[in-house]
């Protein structure tokens, strides 16, 4: 993430509706390529705060700058054409086809027709909506998940540097919601954007955020990374807010990198070295949750998943030990993963200077190291 002038800078934002203060003196900076999630209970002010960024709501006090320019110096409609916006209800125009909905903003900006068509088809393809099947359909012919994908494509169509999303997955069923969220996280288009996303879903916030702003009563309770909010809560509200899902969040937040010190202390590699193979080497940036699922999975699923989590360097390292690879039944009865530290991975500048030994982990060792890491991180 580049360190430069903030793409969005908010200072002292406040908004009242009658006697009720919805947003109270909120300030933050957002850098290019950063994803900020606004999280909190219903009525905490997160949607109102989001709408101040594109002037759908005018604050009573404070300023918002986008790309160094005060948003009040721009006409609202011109400002919004340069900011993608996705809402829970999607807001597709029912009388327009999918392709026409995606093309709305590029047409307003006067983009050439051929460019609009190419961009529309490319976005639909990336969002798993085959243009030849869906481009000429109408919103009423689509499922909720498909409509949400079209809404995201429309927000991205003019290639804006900023995307605002207001509970974009909230109306979807849990399975569709998880799938769309995964596609959202992996979409290359969004990795280049500055994103502000509103949600009340804690898991969603932790999966998608670089930083989280936790709000209550229109005030910022804490602004920081998911790890900071989980292990260094600023106050009792922050601590209580995550209490019900704390274990799940810890499993999803901590990576094997965080456990290497504890795993090394209980290293039993001499006894399980014969279980090393090219089917069970993974990267150290895998989360504890992912490693737990791999160690608990059936053999074939474990083989397929570890292949996806391996670095090229890990593959070559594994090749050197393939002659000692275990039989299928041995791997199945004694599941072991071998962790390759990413610091040892080959880079564009050349191979690593010195590779450290792979660190083995079994299910009992993983859970013991996880518990020790949590205790260490929670110390004041």
Q: Residue 32 contacts by C-beta under 8 Å, 6 or more apart in sequence?
A: 1, 2, 4, 7, 161, 194
DSSP E strands in 144-205: the ranges are: 162-166, 194-199
* Domain identity same for 240 and 266: no
Place of tokens 């997955």: 169
DSSP type of residue 242 = T
pLDDT by residue, tens only, the chain of 380 residues: 445 789 999 999 999 999 999 999 999 999 999 999 999 999 999 999 999 999 999 999 999 999 999 999 999 988 988 898 888 666 788 899 999 999 988 998 899 999 999 999 988 988 888 999 999 999 989 887 888 888 888 888 888 899 998 887 766 666 766 776 777 777 777 778 899 999 988 988 998 899 999 999 999 999 999 999 999 999 999 999 999 999 999 999 999 999 988 887 765 555 555 556 666 788 888 899 999 998 887 755 555 655 555 555 444 444 443 434 443 444 444 578 888 876 544 444 445 444 567 888 888 889 999 999 999 988 77
Indicate whether 22 belongs to any domain: yes
Domain boundary among 248, 265, 300: 248
* Domain identity same for 365 and 302: yes
* Domain identity same for 219 and 284: no
N-term to C-term CA, the chain: 29
Domain boundary among 216, 231, 248: 248
Please give the structure tokens belonging to residue 367. 């859970």
* Domain identity same for 57 and 122: yes
Phi-psi category of residue 55: left, alpha or beta, with phi > 0 → left and psi -120 to 50 → alpha = left
* Domain identity same for 34 and 182: yes
Domain with 266 in it:
256-378
Which residues are bridge partners to 84 per DSSP? 163
CA dihedral sign, ordered 69, 71, 72, 75: positive
Domain boundary among 217, 248, 279: 248
Number of domains in the chain: 2
| Strand-strand pairing, 35-39 and 20-30 | unpaired
CA 315 to chain centre: 27
pTM: predicted TM-score of the whole model, two decimal places = 0.80
CA 36 to chain centre: 10
Indicate whether 155 belongs to any domain: yes
Indicate whether 29 belongs to any domain: yes
């Amino acid at each position: 993430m580049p360190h430069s002038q903030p793409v969005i800078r908010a200072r002292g934002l406040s908004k009242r509706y009658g006697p009720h203060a919805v947003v109270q003196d909120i300030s933050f900076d957002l850098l290019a390529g950063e994803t900020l999630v606004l999280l909190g209970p219903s009525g905490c002010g997160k949607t109102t705060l989001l709408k101040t960024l594109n002037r759908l709501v005018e604050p009573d006090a404070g300023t918002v700058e986008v790309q160094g320019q005060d948003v009040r110096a721009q006409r609202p409609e011109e400002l919004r054409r340069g900011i993608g916006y996705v809402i829970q209800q999607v807001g597709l125009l029912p009388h327009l086809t999918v392709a026409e909905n995606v093309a709305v903003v590029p047409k307003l900006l006067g983009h050439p027709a051929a460019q609009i068509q190419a961009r529309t088809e490319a976005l639909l393809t990336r969002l798993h909506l085959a243009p030849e099947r869906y481009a000429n359909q109408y919103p009423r012919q689509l499922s909720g998940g498909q409509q949400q994908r079209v809404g995201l494509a429309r927000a991205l169509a003019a290639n804006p540097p900023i995307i605002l999303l207001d509970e974009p997955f909230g109306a979807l069923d849990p399975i569709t919601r998880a799938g769309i969220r995964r596609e959202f996280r992996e979409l290359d288009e969004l990795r280049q954007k500055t994103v502000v996303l509103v949600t009340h879903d804690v898991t969603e916030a932790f999966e998608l955020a670089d930083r989280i702003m936790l709000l209550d009563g229109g005030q910022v309770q804490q602004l920081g990374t998911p790890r900071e909010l989980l292990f260094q809560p600023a106050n009792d509200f922050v601590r209580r807010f995550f209490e019900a899902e704390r274990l799940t969040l810890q499993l999803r937040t901590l990576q094997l990198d965080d456990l290497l010190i504890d795993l090394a202390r209980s290293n039993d590699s001499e006894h399980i070295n014969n279980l090393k193979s090219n089917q069970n080497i993974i990267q150290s940036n895998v989360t504890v949750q992912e490693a737990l699922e791999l160690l608990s999975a059936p053999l074939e699923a474990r083989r397929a998943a570890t292949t996806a989590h391996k670095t090229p360097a890990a593959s070559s390292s594994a090749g050197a030990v393939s002659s000692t690879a275990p039989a299928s039944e041995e791997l199945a009865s004694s599941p072991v993963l071998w962790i390759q530290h990413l610091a040892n991975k080959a880079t564009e500048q050349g191979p690593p200077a010195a590779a450290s030994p792979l660190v083995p982990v079994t299910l009992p060792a993983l859970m013991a190291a996880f518990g020790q890491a949590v205790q260490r991180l929670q110390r004041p």
